[in-house]
Amino acid sequence: MENLIRVQDMCKIYNPGENEVRALDHVNLEINRGEFVAIIGHSGSGKSTLMNMLGCLDVPTSGMYYLNGKDVSTMKDNQLSEIRNQEIGFIFQGFNLIANLNAMENVELPLIYRGIGKGERHRLAKEALTKVGLSKRMEHKPSEMSGGQQQRVAIARAIAAEPPVILADEPTGNLDSASTKEIMEILKSLHEAGRSVILITHDNDIADQAKRVVRILDGKIVEDYYNENKKF
């Protein structure tokens, strides 16, 4: 399989010196195109720092990070911004929707930044919202939708431009059990359709639904295994 993500000997150190915090401690990780990986760890384990690195929201203190063949570990902010826009679809715990825009407009927003024309934007946004079961909610604003529906809009926004990586940070953290099940089914279907999905979670039950689980503790990867019986 083709390598999508390659992390080599990555460290992230805050407050270097006597009181330094080693949030990531010589992490090595490879993720292939088309994988469904859960990165699991409790609060303070380093999973959020690793997500920030994988999502090009921050750069490591040392080590290398190759995303889709590009070395992004030494890029400047404006280059990282472009990489985020082109390569990664983000799904956040808090949905991060714009309150005064409807579902369609929220999904179209990152497409505008990509310079995609109005007609094509509209087509891609409509297609993405239909994929997540919201074809009848396109004109609704976030306040007119349930938490589960808002998260589906956020997923549509993440997948509309077909980025190579879907990065989901605690995507079910604010949802009830029925909505959690719906969102996990959508992520599984995206994986089945060939998308690369990376899920950040503290919840073992959520992690167990991924094909591969990477467990992080004290800034180190302590387990990396494939879930048996996952017929994806």
Residue 17 reports pLDDT greater than 50: yes
Q: Residue 113, Cβ neighbours under 10 Å: how many?
A: 13
SS3 229: coil
Residue in this structure with the two tokens 């005064």, named with its chain if needed: 100
Q: What Rg do the C-alpha atoms of the chain give, in angstroms?
A: 18
What would the pLDDT profile of 147-197 be if each residue is shown by its tens digit?
A: 999 999 999 999 999 999 999 999 999 899 999 999 999 999 999 999 999
Residue 232 reports pLDDT greater than 60: no
d(C-alpha 186, C-alpha 200), whole Å: 16
- Tell me what percent of the residues of the chain surpass a pLDDT of 90: 88
d(C-alpha 51, C-alpha 219), whole Å: 12
Across the range 53-67, mean pLDDT stands at 96
Residue 135 reports pLDDT greater than 60: yes
How high does pLDDT run on average in the chain? Answer: 94
- pLDDT given for residue 203 in this prediction: 95
Residue 18 reports pLDDT greater than 90: no
Angle at 65 between CA 92 and CA 6, to 5 degrees: 90
Cross-strand pairs, 220: 217
d(C-alpha 153, C-alpha 210), whole Å: 22
**Domain coordinates in residue numbering, the chain:** 3-100+164-226
d(C-alpha 222, C-alpha 213), whole Å: 11
CATH number for the domain formed by residue range(s) 3-100+164-226: 3.40.50.300
Residue 231 banded pLDDT, cuts 50, 70, 90: low
Q: Residue 142, Cβ neighbours under 10 Å: how many?
A: 19
SS3 41: coil
d(C-alpha 191, C-alpha 10), whole Å: 27
